Amino acid sequence: MNKKTTPDKPAKNDQSREDRLKSALKANLARRKAQMRARGADEAGKPETGDKDKG
């Protein structure tokens, strides 16, 4: 019952995993940048009401 459990192509699997992680990170960063730009545009369009200093 001696079986070898070594993967056939470890280098390719590691490389593809790194590629997937890189692309996911890049997509996430782009999405977050777009979100911050949208929030900035929304904030610029709203007038300030000064609700903070009531009281």
| Predicted local confidence at residue 43, as pLDDT | 76
| Predicted local confidence at residue 12, as pLDDT | 72
Q: Are 15 and 7 in contact (CB under 8 A)?
A: no
- pLDDT tens digit string along 26-35? 999 999 999 9
Segments in the chain below pLDDT 70: 1, 3-11, 46-55
Q: What residues contact residue 39 under an 8 Å CB cut-off, 6+ apart? A: none
Q: What's the distance, Cα to Cα, between the start and end of the chain in Å? A: 79
Question: Can you spell out the DSSP letters for 9-27?
Answer: -HHHHHHHHHHHHHHHHHH
| Predicted local confidence at residue 41, as pLDDT | 81
Give the angle 35-37-42 at the CA atoms, nearest 5°: 95
